[in-house]
Amino acid sequence: MANIIVTIDGYSSCGKSTLAKKLAARLHYKYIDSGAMYRAITLYFLRNRVDWNVAEEVLDALKNIQLEFVVNPEHKRSEIFLNGENVEYVIRDLVVAEKVSEVAAVKEVREFAVAAQQQLGAGKGIVMDGRDIGTTVFPEAELKIFLVADPAVRVARRFKELHEKNPVVTLEEVKHNLEMRDYIDSNREISPLRKAEDALTLDNTDLSPEETLNKACDMVHAALKRG
């Protein structure tokens, strides 16, 4: 049976990455974390004090950025490397999260990332999550999933994730961050977050990660049968 491309789009903290990783593992597909790519670029910009409002600075910086995914032999999952450095955990900090939507809205950044993503998915057999994967990166994907969840549930999930790493973070900070990212993602000029016309909605507000995975697998099997 031929491999396909599965895209998973949606707002922050809907569980896109969790689902994509588990789905890729079950299908024996490659998992590509597009969000990690934008976070890594944001990290580079912050570290090197790149003004992402100045096109010349952005273009110069992008020339010095090399991104790759390497499978961690310990837990068999892909982790992102920025110029040879494993930044999988550094990019999850709130300081990066607060700026990533701004950076991802920059035209030159998106063109750079989209080209890299399309190259990674050229051979199919991938699961990629993000905000414009089904609309811009792989508009011809055989299966597009649009993941949604109640805003309060999303805030609670994100708070739990961040609080384990940073005990001083507050629920209000997380709520503000998600609201800000939702607005920027939905209103940016280049590739705004929206549901593709042929995407299937999966609401996991009241679902466990395993239940969400099972529903996604059913969608994959149906897509494979359609050929």
Radius of gyration of the chain (CA): 17
Q: Per-residue pLDDT for the chain (227 aa), expressed as one digit of tens each?
A: 679 999 999 999 999 989 999 999 999 898 988 889 999 999 999 999 999 999 999 999 999 999 998 878 887 778 899 999 999 999 998 899 999 999 999 999 999 999 999 988 888 999 999 989 999 999 999 999 999 999 999 999 999 988 888 889 999 999 999 999 899 889 988 889 999 999 999 999 999 999 999 999 999 999 999 87
Q: Does residue 113 form part of some domain?
A: yes
Report if residue 176 sits inside a domain: yes
In a domain, residue 99? The reply is yes
For position 217, what pLDDT does the model report?
A: 97
Q: Which two tokens stand for residue 218?
A: 């059913």
Interhelix angle 55-62/34-47, nearest 10 degrees: 110
pLDDT of residue 107: 94
Assigned domain for 225 exists: no
For the entire predicted model, the pTM comes to 0.81
CATH number at residue 207: 3.40.50.300
Whether 203 maps to a domain, the answer reads yes
pLDDT on residue 1: 61
215 located within any domain: yes
- In total, how many domains does the chain have? 1
Distance CA 11, CA 14 (A): 6
Find out whether 38 and 109 touch, Cβ atoms under 8 Å.
Answer: yes
Structural domain containing residue 74? 5-220
User: Where do the DSSP E strands lie in the chain?
Assistant: 5-10, 30-33, 67-72, 77-82, 85-86, 126-130, 143-148, 200-203
71 domain residue, yes or no? yes
What pLDDT, on a 0 to 100 scale, did the predictor assign at position 165? 80
Q: Is residue 226 part of a domain?
A: no
